[in-house]
């Protein structure tokens, strides 16, 4: 395998002070973050389209982001690409004790159980089951991930019910003055005209109703993210056909 070392050499050249690329040298983890997201979405598009050549190309773009971030980190004395590879290698070995150890997992459910147990041991310092769910995830994807985490402890239904109940209580005229005051503030925001830039207003009640719908879909074995993506794709196709 020579292409991966060659890619590292290319990135090293791009980041070189002498003869490198001024744009690449100016980048940081923060400035490159959006590209990692964009490339990941392009990979998902390629997978959805089912074209192996596109999948290969988009995987390459994702790999380039990894190598570039590692090159920037190495120059800052933080870590190297070798550290990145070693870390994920060791993690995969730890989380597959049924392959690399003495555990037994003959079904998918068994594998999930073993994986969760190994991960829980690694993340024992976490104080909440929700720790580690990225705040930067799109809201729908994050809602599904949070529900999955809660479902591991059989608390998803109760958590959603408590959010819905709290919202209904806040909107009940007989609620406490403090709750009523907070509700009026929210209602004032919801009822206000849309901003000039067209961003729209925030409607907490709509969001909670949507959360309830998402939780119900997950409970019924439906993938809300893939389902909505399919619906949006149909919308796009219908509009393109009408143009």
Q: What is the spatial distance between Cα 210 and Cα 214, in angstroms, rounded to a whole number?
A: 6
Residue 185 has pLDDT above 70, yes or no: no
User: Do the domain assignments include residue 232?
Assistant: yes
CATH number, domain at 8? 1.10.287.1080
Boundary-marking domain end, from 86, 120, 145: 86
**90 vs 85, 94, 186, CA distance in Å?**
9, 6, 48
Same domain, 52 and 141: no
Angle between helices 156-170 and 204-219 (to 10 degrees): 160
* Residue range 218-227, pLDDT digits in tens: 999 999 998 9
Residues 6+ apart with CB under 8 A from 195: 201
Quick one: pLDDT band at residue 133, thresholds 50, 70, 90?
confident
Question: What is the pLDDT at residue 197?
Answer: 61
What is the pLDDT of the chain when averaged over all its residues? Answer: 87
Helix, strand, coil share of the chain (percent; to 5): 70, 0, 30
DSSP string computed for 169-209: HHTSTTS-HHHHHHHHHHHHHHHSPPPTTS-----HHHHHH
> Is there a contact between 183 and 169 (Cβ–Cβ < 8 Å)?
no
User: Do the domain assignments include residue 100?
Assistant: no
Average pLDDT over residues 219-240: 90
> Is there a contact between 14 and 21 (Cβ–Cβ < 8 Å)?
yes
* Residue range 193-214, pLDDT digits in tens: 555 565 678 888 899 999 999 9
Return the higher-pLDDT residue of 183 and 25: 25
Same domain, 81 and 143: no
Same domain, 80 and 139: no
Question: What is the pLDDT at residue 195?
Answer: 58
Residue 178 has pLDDT above 50, yes or no: no
Average pLDDT over residues 51-77: 97
Token pair in block for residue 64: 């380039």
Token pair in block for residue 180: 């009523």
Boundary-marking domain end, from 86, 101, 124: 86
Same domain, 140 and 229: yes
| Structural domain of 154 | 134-242
User: What's this model's pTM, rounded to 2 decimal places?
Assistant: 0.70
User: Do the domain assignments include residue 216?
Assistant: yes
CA-nearest of 138, 167, 166 to 229 is: 138
Boundary-marking domain end, from 30, 52, 86: 86
User: Do the domain assignments include residue 93?
Assistant: no
Half-sphere exposure of 162 (CA within 13 A, CB side): 5
Return the higher-pLDDT residue of 81 and 194: 81
Same domain, 160 and 71: no
Same domain, 236 and 144: yes
Same domain, 73 and 138: no
Quick one: pLDDT band at residue 183, thresholds 50, 70, 90?
very low
Same domain, 141 and 64: no
User: Do the domain assignments include residue 236?
Assistant: yes
Q: What is the spatial distance between Cα 105 and Cα 96, in angstroms, rounded to a whole number?
A: 9
User: Do the domain assignments include residue 104?
Assistant: no
Domain count, the chain: 2
Same domain, 153 and 238: yes
Same domain, 216 and 159: yes
User: Do the domain assignments include residue 154?
Assistant: yes
Same domain, 144 and 76: no
Same domain, 139 and 225: yes
User: Do the domain assignments include residue 63?
Assistant: yes
């Amino acid at each position: 395998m020579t292409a991966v070392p060659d890619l590292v050499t290319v990135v090293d050249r791009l980041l070189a002070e002498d003869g490198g690329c001024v744009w690449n040298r100016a980048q940081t983890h923060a400035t490159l973050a959006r590209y990692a997201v964009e490339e990941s979405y392009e990979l998902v598009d390629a997978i959805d389209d089912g074209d192996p050549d596109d999948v290969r190309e988009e995987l390459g773009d994702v790999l380039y982001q990894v190598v570039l971030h590692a090159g920037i980190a190495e120059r800052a004395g933080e870590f190297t690409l070798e550290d990145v590879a070693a870390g994920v290698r060791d993690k995969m070995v730890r989380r597959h004790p049924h392959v690399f150890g003495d555990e037994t997992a003959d079904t998918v459910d068994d594998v999930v159980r073993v994986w969760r147990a190994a991960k829980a041991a690694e993340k024992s310092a976490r104080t909440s089951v929700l720790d580690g769910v990225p705040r930067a995830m799109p809201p729908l994807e994050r809602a599904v991930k949070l529900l999955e985490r809660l479902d591991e402890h059989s608390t998803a239904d109760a958590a959603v019910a408590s959010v819905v109940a709290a919202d209904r209580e806040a909107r009940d005229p007989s609620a406490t003055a403090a709750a009523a005051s907070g509700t009026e503030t929210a209602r004032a925001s919801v009822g206000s005209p849309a901003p000039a830039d067209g961003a729209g207003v925030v409607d907490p009640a709509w969001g909670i109703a949507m959360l309830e719908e998402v939780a119900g879909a997950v409970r019924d074995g439906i993938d809300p993210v893939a389902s909505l993506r399919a619906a949006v794709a149909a919308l796009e196709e219908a509009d393109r056909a009408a143009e």
